[in-house]
Amino acid sequence: MLLTYFLVRELFPSQPLGGGYSPTTRGATYGYQLSVISSLLLAISPWHLQFSRVAFESNVGLFFDILTVWLILKAFKKPWLLVLAAFSAGLSLYVYQAEKVFVPFLVLAIALIWRKSLLKLPRKYLVLGLLVGAICLLPLVKMTLTTPEIFLRAKGTSLTADQTPFLAWTAEKLARDYQDKDYLGLILDNRRVTYFLAFLRGYFSHFDLNWLFITGGEARHHAPGMGVLYLWELPFLVWGIYGLIFSRVGKKSKLLIFLWFLLAPIPAAFTTGAPHEVRTIRLLPIFQILVAFGLIRAWQILNKKRLILQMMLIGAGGLFFIFNSAYYLNQYFVQQNYFNSQSWQYGYQQAVEEIKKIEPQYQKIVVSNQPYLDQSYMFFLFYLKFDPATYQQLGGTVSGGFAENHRGFGKYTFRPIAWEKEVVMADTLYVGRPGDFSGQVKILKTIYFLDGQPAILIATK
């Protein structure tokens, strides 16, 4: 929030935002207003709160993005800050995978927009900044060349991760094109075009108003019953975009805002699951800046209207703001636990507490690792307080593709449960989902989600 304030102050230091006021009388006031409103909007943003409160690493990446841009802009006045900007940009690449794509684009955009100003800086700071950036990149380059496993996450979420179902339809069309000698079809119905179209769909899906304001994406990425932005922000967002395009603000600042806005979804567009709130969190604080711009423009126009009309519009807008904000607070702090407990892996702690009571009675404990119990080994290690060093000595977790091979530890084995094929022994305890069990099964304990639906079953022969 504080960095957003300083960034906006640097982008719009003393320029009028329009509305017929002269730069000398009202320009500085607007820069201050825009900074304050933008930072306040970020502080109450549902998108920002959703990930900052649980410390998602993407939120740390956003911090370094804003810091990098602010330091570069400040470096035009204090050139030595360019070294810190390079260091900040270098650190961001290690925080989150999407940063490896977005940050180079962002830095390149700034370099092109302010190329003349950059070239006027003392050469020693330019060289030193490049040197610091290169040093930051060295470990990443080394790992890229020697440790291909660092890209397992990226490969597992990319559009090319699971080619068979993705390209099945294209393969069928391509076969018909060969049979029918459809030469245009042979050009269009191939995997390269398919991937490109999938990229475009993923990219533009992040500007879907329904996703942004109404539904959101994955359940744990937004409060239930709403998107990642307040509905009351929509008219001011549209107004802000329109107003910024035709405003008298500096062309360079305006260009950076819109390029940031357009570049942010690119990393997520290469992956499955688009639109994706975590991978595009760097759309903040651009949304807040545009909404703030729209609010100021709206106030300028409203200020010229009659008092009675002002009171009516402010009253109606204020009521909608209060209702929308109160609705979000209720959905986030109250309803989310009820509706989305499954998405937050609820039940592991309760299940482990029950298993501890009866663990001595069994020689083997089989735990499902299928969604929504995927990566269950981590929760059992945590709640059982199993020694990490001992786990590593036993073999640890071997990554492969996007999945992990859970070697297990002690009595615990983590794998899919196919009850009809299991050779069930009396000394074996099973922990799984309701759908993992059928036929003859003795349920010892059922753990329920907060909405009352069964979550985890503890069973045996």
> DSSP assignment, residue 362?
-
SS3 365: strand
Q: What is the pLDDT of residues 263-280, one digit of tens each?
A: 999 999 988 888 999 999
Question: Under a CB-based contact definition with an 8 Å cutoff, are residues 296 and 40 in contact?
Answer: no
Q: How many CB atoms lie within 10 A of CB 357?
A: 10
Whether the per-residue pLDDT at 21 is higher than 50: the answer is no
How large is the average pLDDT for residues 3-15? 86
Tokens representing 375? 């990566």
Rounded Cα distance, 53 and 49, in Å: 6
Half-sphere exposure of 394 (CA within 13 A, CB side): 18
Residue with tokens 């604080």: 285
Whether the per-residue pLDDT at 73 is higher than 60: the answer is yes
Identify the band that residue 168 occupies on the pLDDT scale cut at 50, 70 and 90. low
> What is the pTM (predicted TM-score) of this model?
0.86
Residue with tokens 């179902």: 165
Whether the per-residue pLDDT at 163 is higher than 60: the answer is no
Higher pLDDT, 461 or 24: 461
How do the domains of the chain map onto residue ranges?
Answer: 2-157+190-335, 344-460
What is the overall mean pLDDT for the chain?
A: 87
How large is the average pLDDT for residues 176-199? 72
Which of 346, 276, 281, 343 is closest to 46 using CA atoms? 281
Query: Is-cis flag, bond preceding 224, omega within 30?
Result: no
> DSSP assignment, residue 348?
H
Q: What is the pLDDT of residues 388-402, one digit of tens each?
A: 988 888 877 766 545
How large is the average pLDDT for residues 321-347? 93
How large is the average pLDDT for residues 198-224? 92
Parallel, antiparallel, or unpaired for β 412-414 and 364-367? parallel
Identify the band that residue 24 occupies on the pLDDT scale cut at 50, 70 and 90. very low
Whether the per-residue pLDDT at 375 is higher than 90: the answer is no
- Determine which helix (DSSP H) or strand (DSSP E) holds 457, and give its type and residue range: strand 454-460
Query: Is-cis flag, bond preceding 434, omega within 30?
Result: no
In the sheet that holds 364-367, the strands lie side by side as 412-414, 364-367, 428-432, 454-460, 442-448
SS3 432: strand
Which distant-in-sequence residues (6+ apart) come within 8 Å of 135 by Cβ? 90
Long-range CB contact pairs, 174-179, < 8 A, 24+:
none
Whether the per-residue pLDDT at 27 is higher than 50: the answer is no
Q: What percent of the chain has pLDDT over 90?
A: 57
Residue 372 vs residues 18, 148, 207, 343, 345: alpha-carbon distances, Å? 52, 28, 29, 8, 7
